[in-house]
Amino acid sequence: PYDSTVKLLQPNILFFCRHVYIQVRDHSIMNKIKSLIPTLKNVNIPLVLDADGLFVLAQNPTLLNDYSNDVYITPNVHEFRILCEAFFKGEEYSVTDYETLGPKLSSAIGPRVTILIKGERDIIIRGKTVLNYETTKGSPRRCGGQGDVLSGCLGTFAFWATQVEQKDGKDAPQLCAALAASTITRVCNRYAFEDKGRGMTTTDMLEKLPMVFDSLFDDKWKYLID
């Protein structure tokens, strides 16, 4: 029965394969991203790069060399490998050696870069500091758009980090911004999964966001905007 079903479906599958065209990346959009960077440099605001923004960076390794404000990038493991291939052409390295490679990539991209590598455990890198973050559990389900939740939260926390005076040259505000974004995303993911199971979507995560924010931070964040 299985073989006969496959043979029955094959003509239809082939028909759709011949008529479906997938454009993975829109180069016009990527060019627009690239053209915006000089303007953002003049405005002097924090920058969060994710998804196609990371591929723009991989194709233009010097793009953020002189970006004077904080830069946050949020690659998954695959995107991190692509960035390493772009920045360290011809060099020998282990792409899983985050302790060595992460700080090296951070300094190669620009002067104030924080890297948040998304995965089963999130890895946060800034300067020579590498945090392997395993404390907050997510769920077995990762849904499309979850990275957008993370980068959106990170944008908020990145701004708040600019309001905190840095002492002794430490990068604690930026590390805290990345850690907070990672934590709130993971907890939203876990709570949404508890409600919806494998049918969970990113919309379900967003519905949990206000409650999770209050439960994690309550009024502890207010000192950031006093």
pLDDT of residue 210: 92
The pLDDT value recorded for residue 41 is 83
- 207's CB contacts (< 8 A; 6+ apart) are 192
Using CB atoms within 10 Å of the CB of residue 75, give its burial: 0 to 12 exposed, 13 to 18 middle, 19+ buried: buried
* Predicted pLDDT of residue 166: 63
Amino acid at 46: P
How many secondary structure helices (H) and strands (E) does the chain include? 8, 5
pTM given for the model: 0.83
Domains of the chain as residue ranges with CATH: 25-134 (3.40.1190.20), 141-226 (no CATH)
C-alpha to C-alpha distance for 80 and 13, rounded to whole angstroms: 34
Question: What is the torsional sign of CA 100, 103, 106, 111?
Answer: negative
Dihedral sign, Cα of residue 39, residue 45, residue 51, residue 53: positive
Average pLDDT value for residue range 27-56: 85
Tokens 């990345």 belong to residue: 178
Confidence band for 207, pLDDT divided at 50, 70 and 90 = very high
Alpha-carbon span 146 to 96, nearest angstrom: 23
Host H or E run for residue 35 = helix 27-43
pLDDT given at position 187: 93
Residue 36: what pLDDT? 84
Poorest-pLDDT segment among 153-162, 196-205, 213-222: 213-222
Q: Does the structure show a pLDDT above 80 at 76?
A: yes
Angstrom distance (rounded) from CA 162 to CA 173: 8
Evaluate if residue 2 carries a pLDDT over 70.
no
Residue 196 tokens read as 């919806």
Position 133 scores a pLDDT of 76
